[in-house]
């Protein structure tokens, strides 16, 4: 199992399995029948990483922009979303997005919320640890005055590991989608039924995958621990 515990200054890059984004789109957002089809709307992922969220967004939205504060291998536009505004987007010839989707760094997700609230024209969705729903400071900063339209839980845990997506990984951490939609009142929590990974993983996703990486890392940790114990015994 993998748990997500990062230093305060970490870039916190844990790619979101494409199926988790596809499940949000097809199980929740597309059935809403917005006044304009999502295919006529635009989306932005400001934490593009390796592109794991971009692929499913492009299947649904008419146009998808992306950026990141760091190049994780896909040569994205380098932009720090914590400083992004409508004016900075327009100054660089970029369109103000209808939607924002991202898996924000946990320790600065509150800042990402403030930016997304000011920029997204229709709505935004954050993929976050379930613990992000708690906390007195976060309640006062976010939830008291900006209650989410949807909180979307997965019946099956969505496994994330640092730096890559391993579809074979397991996890002890629970994740949810938290979605705000302008003009839409808060709705009851949504629980996505078991089988989302099997339903919404497509063959093309495997180009973004690193199968077996979680097992390899576990084996390395065990070997290192065995080495340390042997050195301690021989000291």
Q: What is the CATH number of the domain that holds 200?
A: 3.40.50.150
* Residue 229 placed within a domain: no
* Residue 87 placed within a domain: yes
pLDDT of residue 9: 43
* Residue 88 placed within a domain: yes
The dihedral formed by the CA atoms of 182, 49, 221 and 198, expressed in degrees to the nearest 10: 60
Contact 47, 106 (CB under 8 A): no
* Residue 33 placed within a domain: yes
Whether the pLDDT of residue 14 is over 70: the answer is yes
* Residue 194 placed within a domain: yes
Rounded CA separation 1/8 (Å): 22
* Residue 221 placed within a domain: no
pTM, entire model: 0.91
Number of folded domains in the chain? 1
* Residue 146 placed within a domain: yes
Q: What domain range includes position 65?
A: 18-210
In tens, the pLDDT along 182-227 reads 999 999 999 999 999 999 999 999 999 999 999 999 999 999 998 8
* Residue 137 placed within a domain: yes
pLDDT of residue 158: 97
Whether the pLDDT of residue 131 is over 80: the answer is yes
């Amino acid at each position: 199992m993998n748990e997500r515990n990062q230093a305060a200054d970490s870039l916190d890059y844990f790619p979101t399995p494409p199926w988790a984004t596809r499940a949000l789109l097809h199980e929740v957002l597309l059935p809403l029948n917005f006044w304009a089809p999502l295919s006529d709307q635009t989306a932005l992922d400001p934490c593009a990483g390796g592109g794991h969220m971009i692929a499913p967004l492009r299947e649904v939205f008419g146009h998808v922009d992306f950026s990141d504060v760091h190049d994780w291998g896909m040569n994205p536009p380098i932009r720090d979303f914590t400083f992004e505004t409508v004016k900075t987007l327009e100054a660089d010839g970029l369109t103000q997005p209808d939607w924002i989707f991202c898996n924000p760094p946990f320790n600065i997700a509150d800042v990402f919320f403030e930016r997304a609230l000011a920029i997204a024209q229709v709505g935004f969705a954050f993929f976050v640890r379930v613990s992000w729903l708690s906390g007195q400071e976060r309640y006062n900063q976010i939830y008291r005055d900006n209650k989410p339209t949807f909180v979307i839980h997965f019946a099956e845990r969505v496994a994330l590991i640092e730096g890559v997506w391993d579809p074979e990984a397991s996890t002890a951490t629970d994740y949810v989608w938290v979605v705000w939609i302008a003009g839409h009142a808060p709705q009851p929590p949504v629980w996505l039924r078991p089988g989302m990974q099997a339903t919404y993983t497509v063959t093309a996703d495997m180009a973004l995958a690193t199968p077996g990486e979680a097992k390899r890392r576990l084996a390395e940790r065990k070997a290192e621990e065995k080495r340390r114990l042997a050195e301690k015994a021989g000291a």
